[in-house]
Structures are given as structure tokens and as C-alpha cells.
Structure 1
Amino acid sequence: MAEAYPWQQGLWQQLAGRQQHAHAYLLHGPAGIGKRALAERLMALLLCHKPVGLEACGQCKGCYLLAAGTHPDNYVLEPEEADKAIKVDQVRDLVSFVVQTAQLGGRKVVLLEPVEAMNINAANALLKSLEEPAGNTVLLLVSHQPSRLLPTVKSRCVQQACPLPDQASSLAWLAEALPECGEDERRELLTLAAGSPLAARRLHQQGVREQRALVVDGVKKLLKQQASASQLAEAWKAMPMIMLFDWFCDWSQAMLRYQLTRDETGLGLADMHKVVQYLADKTPQPKLLAMQDWLLQQRQKVLGKANLNSVLLLEALLVQWASLPGPG
């Protein structure tokens, strides 16, 4: 049974309490807030033969088969490899499932995550099934980046926004999920996860604070000319590329914010306060804006799963970063 998160209570009652379900839902919102768990709870409810209130009973044949991963009327579509695209052949297999008759005589339920992993051909192959799914079929689509979806995909679904929980709810949940961490550490993890509590827990498990310390130390050595861009790029190549670009984007935004407001409360996490303030004072604004544009362009390529040489890309980033102080 998927976990029920406290911040989803109202959303769950809204979704599960519908008298008649749509043929397709698009659950969208930031990563790390429990959208997959929400979709799995709804999937279990829709496949249950004897629901108890707004929950699957967990005791009927449908619930037993779903728990065993052998339910004949359930289909889960994900990338074949992490961070890879969902291919058109995978969607064609899904379409073949959708047109079949439900073997247990009830609903068929499809879970697809993340929707934005579909390439153009795959998305187009899904459109007919989204518009008119055969029989009593419900498609549950989960998206972390709905802006990347085709309008034709979004228009065929009931769109359900899944907002971030408030900070108090997230910190209360993290206190139970990460009792070994102190409150300051949990707050830092939540900040690094952009407010997403499940992402904060995952980052802790991945050792993000240790990674962050290495990167911050490397940036300081780069600016003091104690380490070269190529040395740091090689040392960081195993780190998640999107995480590194997110940090540099955050730092460049904090620099611009400080240039415009001189407000030290907007400098971000304490580990980079002095560096951000120094660079903001020493970098001409047109140069900083050009750096931001470049960062966003490269970040988009990383998100788009472009075939990039990570070491060369990081080296290019660090060379430009080192050249920020000084004339444009």
C-alpha cells in the first residue's frame, strides 16, 4: 500500500471522493512531494472490488494481485532506464493493453511516470488512447515538469495540481523520517530540495551535504586560483549534473538579487554567503545576466537528456564562473 502523506489529505478526498472518475488524470507538481504515491493509492482504489470508505480494502482478489505485481488489468509505464526517454514502442505496447477487455471484469488502470519522459513520437502515439480509452480504462499520468508536455496531451486530461506542502508540515514529517538529523540539518536539506520533503530525504540518503561541501570548497579554491576548472570538473563528474546546475543557477540569481536590493537575507545558504556577496560586488551586471542565460540554456539541455560530455560542460561552466570578477 502506498504511503499516505499528511499534506495530501484534502487532495486525496477530492480525488478519491469523485462519484464518476475521468478517463485520464494528470497529477502535476514539483518532484519529491508524493505524486507517485498519490497515483498508486488511487490506482489501488480503482482496482479494488470492495473499497472501505475512500481506501482500497487490501483483502480482495484485486488488492492481492496488485500487491503481488500480477494484476492483469494494471499497467505501469516508466523509462526502461533511469533518466532515459520513454520510447514509442513502449507506448504502442501500452495502447495494445488499453484496447483489451478487462480480465477481472472491472476497470483497467494505467500509471505513467514521468509523462515528460516521452519523446514526441511516443506522446503522439498516446493521444488516441488519452482521448478515447477503450472500455472502462483510467490513465493516471504523473508529471514533475508539466511545462514540457505537449498541449494536446494536457488538454485530454483532468489536470490536478499537487502543490508543495508548507514548510511546517515538511519539517514535521522530516523530523519523523530523519530522526538522526538535527533541526538545522533538516532545514538545510529542505532548502536544497526546494521545499520538497521526499526529495530532502532522498538527498540525505545520497549524501548531498557532503557533496555540497566539496563543491563549495572547490568554488572557493577556483576563485583563489588554488584549483583549476579542469581539475574540479574531473572531480565532480560523478555528481548529478542537474544538481550542480541548479546550485550555480541559484547562486547567480542570489548575486543578481543582491546587486538590485543589497539585501543580505537573500544570499541563500550560509555556506556561500561570502562568495555570493563578493561575486555580486565584483561582477558587472551585463556579464552576470549573460552567465545566467548560458546556465539556463545548458540546464535545459541537461533536462532534455541531451548527449553531453559532462566533464567538458562542467569545465566550460567553471571557466566562465572564474572569469566573473572583473570587467565585462
Structure 2
Amino acid sequence: MAEAYPWQQALWQQLAGRERHAHAYLLHGPQGIGKRALAERLMARLLCQQPHGLDACGQCKSCLLLKAGSHPDNFVLEPEEAEKPIKVDQVRELVSFVVQTAQLGGRKVVLIEPVEAMNVNASNALLKSLEEPSGDTVLLLVSHQPSRLLPTIKSRCQQVACPQPSVEHSQAWLASALPDCDESERRELLTLAAGSPLRAATLQAQGIVEQRALVTDGVKKLLKQQQSPSQLAEAWGSVPLLLLFDWFFEWSQLILRYQLTQDEEGLGLADMRKVVQYLAQKARQDKVLQTQAWVLEQRQKVLGKANLNRVLLLEALLAHWVQLPGSR
């Protein structure tokens, strides 16, 4: 059974306690706060033949089939490969499932995650099922970035904003999930994950601490002219592109903030504070804004799964960055 997170308790009581359910829910919020687990928990509750209070019983035929991954009235749609789009053929398979009769005589439940991974053709193929689902079918759409969804998708769903955990909840959960990390490491991971504890644990498992050290060290060497953009573009081959663009966008924000406020408490994590302060003092504000706009534009291309030449893109990013000092 999916984990029940304490920060979701009020929302869970509201969702699971309903006598009548919407035909489609859009569960949205930042990545790493437990939306997928909430959707799976609700999916189990909707399919269960003998619910126990607000939760699935875990023992009936439906629950056992779901646990085994062989429930005939359950359909999970997600990218075939990580970071790849959901294809229109996958959605057509889902549409065929929706029009079928439930084999166990109850509901059919569809889970799609992340919904924004669908391209325009795939999204359009889903619209009919969202508008007029066949029989007693409930669609659970999970989105980390609802702003990227077609308005026609959002308008056909009941939108449910999933709560972000408090700092206390996040720290307590992360302490249990990562007992080998000390408190300062967990705080840094939460900062890198924008306060989302599950994402913090995922990033830790992916080696974000080592990746971050590699990147920050490279930026410092770039500014000291000890390494070239092309050398760093090759050296950062294992670091996810989106993570890199997130960091460079955040650093540009911190530079602008310091230029406006001179607040040394707002320089971000310790590993880049001196660099941020140095660039804020040496770079023209309009140049920082231009660089930030370019970073944001390229980040959108990365999010849109555009077919990009990684090395050339990183070389261009670093070429923008190295030109910031002395632009006053």
C-alpha cells in the first residue's frame, strides 16, 4: 500500500470520505511531496471491494490483484523511459481501456503521471476520455507543473492542490529516510530540493552532493580562467540538464537580489555565496537580466523535451556566464 504522509492527512480525509467521486482529478503541486503516493492510495481505495474506513482493506481480490500489478481494471500511464514524453500511441491504448467494461464489476481507475509529459497530440487524444469517460471510470492525473498543461485538460478535471509539507514534517520524514545523513546535510538536501522531502531523498540517491560540488568547483575555475566552457561541458556529462539550468537560474536570481538589497543573508548556499557576491559586484544588472532570460528560455526547451545538443548548449550557457564579470 502507498505510504500515507502526515502532511496529506486533511486532504486524504476530504478525498477518501466522498460518497461520489469526480470522473477526473488533477493532483498538482511541487515535485517530491508525495502526489504519486496519494494517487496510488486513492486508486486502491476506489478499486477496493471491502474498504476499511477511509483506506483499502488490502485483503480482497481487487487489493491483491492491484498489489500484484495485475488488476484488470487499473491502467497506469507514464513515460516508457525516464525524461521522455508520453506518446500518442500510449494514450490511444488508454482510450481503448477506458471504453471497456470493468472486469471485476466495479470501477476502472486510470493513473497518469506526469501529465505534462504528454505532447500536444497525446493530450488531444486524451480529451474525449476526460470529457466522457465510459462507465464508472475515475482518472487520476498527477502534475508537477500544471502551467504546462493544455487549458482543455485542466478544465475537464477537478483540480486538487496537494499540500507542501512544513519544515518540521520535512525534516522529520527525511531524518527517518536518511538516518546516515547528519542534520546539516539534510538541511542542505532540502534546500536543493526546494523543501520537497521525497525529492531530497531522490536527489541524495542520485549523488546530488557530488554533482553540486563538481559544478560549483567548475564555475569557480571558469571565472578564474582555469578551465574553458568546452572542458566543463564535457566534465558535467553526468549532471542532469534541468538541474544545471535550475542552479544557474537560481544563481542569477541571487545576484540580482544582492544588487538590489546588498543583503548578505540572501546569498544562497555557502558553496556559491562568494561567487554570487563577486558577480553581483562586477556585472551590470541589465547583463544579468539578459543572461537570466536566456537561461530561462533554454530551461523551457529542456522541460519541453526538445532535441538539444547537450555539449553545445552547456558551452553557450558557460559562455554567457563567463562574460558577466567586468561588464559594468
| Same fold by TM-score greater than 0.5 | yes
Q: Which residue of 2 aligns with 1:114?
A: 114
Unaligned runs of 5+ in 1: none
The CA distance in 2 between the partners of 1:327 and 1:26, in whole Å, is: 46
Q: Which residue of 1 aligns with 2:18?
A: 18
Q: Which residue of 1 aligns with 2:325?
A: 325
Could you say what secondary structure the match of 1:15 adopts? helix
The CA distance in 1 between the partners of 2:76 and 2:137, in whole Å, is: 13
Does 2:233 match 1:233?
A: yes
1:208-287 equivalences in 2 (<5 Å) = 208-287=208-287
Could you say what secondary structure the match of 2:38 adopts? helix
The CA distance in 2 between the partners of 1:274 and 1:158, in whole Å, is: 46
Aligned residues: 328
Could you say what secondary structure the match of 2:257 adopts? helix
Q: Which residue of 2 aligns with 1:102?
A: 102
Shift of 1:167: 1.1
Q: Which residue of 1 aligns with 2:66?
A: 66
Q: Which residue of 2 aligns with 1:293?
A: 293
Could you say what secondary structure the match of 1:135 adopts? coil
Shift of 1:130: 0.4
Shift of 1:163: 2.5
The CA distance in 1 between the partners of 2:232 and 2:167, in whole Å, is: 34
Provide TM-score, normalisation by structure 1.
Answer: 0.99
The CA distance in 1 between the partners of 2:172 and 2:194, in whole Å, is: 16
Letter in 1 for 2:195: G
Q: Which residue of 2 aligns with 1:82?
A: 82
Shift of 1:327: 2.5
Give deviations 1:169-203, integer Å, cap 9, x for gaps.
10111111111111110000000001110000011
Could you say what secondary structure the match of 2:170 adopts? helix
Letter in 1 for 2:107: R
Q: Which residue of 2 aligns with 1:45?
A: 45
Q: Which residue of 1 aligns with 2:156?
A: 156
Unaligned runs of 5+ in 2: none
Could you say what secondary structure the match of 2:140 adopts? strand
Q: Which residue of 2 aligns with 1:3?
A: 3
Give deviations 1:113-158, integer Å, cap 9, x for gaps.
1100111111111111101101000000000000000000000000
Could you say what secondary structure the match of 2:8 adopts? helix
Shift of 1:112: 0.5
Q: Which residue of 2 aligns with 1:187?
A: 187
Q: Which residue of 2 aligns with 1:170?
A: 170
Give deviations 1:40-90, integer Å, cap 9, x for gaps.
000000000000000000000000100011111000111111111111111
Identity value in percent:
77
Provide TM-score, normalisation by structure 2.
Answer: 0.99
Deviation beyond 4 Å, 4+ runs, structure 1: none
Could you say what secondary structure the match of 1:110 adopts? strand
Does 2:304 match 1:304?
A: yes
The CA distance in 2 between the partners of 1:268 and 1:292, in whole Å, is: 17
The CA distance in 1 between the partners of 2:37 and 2:225, in whole Å, is: 47
Could you say what secondary structure the match of 2:75 adopts? strand
The CA distance in 2 between the partners of 1:248 and 1:119, in whole Å, is: 27
The CA distance in 1 between the partners of 2:86 and 2:217, in whole Å, is: 38
Could you say what secondary structure the match of 1:20 adopts? coil
The CA distance in 2 between the partners of 1:327 and 1:303, in whole Å, is: 30
Letter in 1 for 2:113: E
